Amino acid sequence: MEATVVRIGNGEGLVIPASILEKLKLKLYSIVNITLQDDAIVITPAVRQGWAEAARLMRERGEDELIGADVTDDTEAQY
């Protein structure tokens, strides 16, 4: 598949076809990693895509309560 480098503001960019974005589960403002391998540009989805948004929603809903705190609290432990 061919693509053309286009002007985007003061820089340049590529338009990625919707079919490729769908296969990678990417959407507008998704974060990706861009690397070079030999003479190829490799674009991969960033790890933990969407986790920040999910954490924000959990906080808003009050669903971010620490569970198992009594199990991890060893301040009273007798050794």
- Tokens, residue 75: 């301040």
Reduce the DSSP state of residue 7 to 3 states and report it.
Answer: strand
CATH of the domain at 19: 2.10.260.10
25-61 pLDDT tens trace? 888 888 899 999 999 999 988 877 677 888 889 899 9
Q: Give domain status of residue 32, yes or no.
A: yes
Q: Does some domain include residue 73?
A: no
Domain residue limits at 17: 5-65
79 part of a folded domain: no
Mean pLDDT of 7-36: 91
Q: Residue 76 falls within a domain, yes or no?
A: no
* 19 part of a folded domain: yes
Residue 22: what pLDDT?
A: 92
Overall domain count for the chain: 1
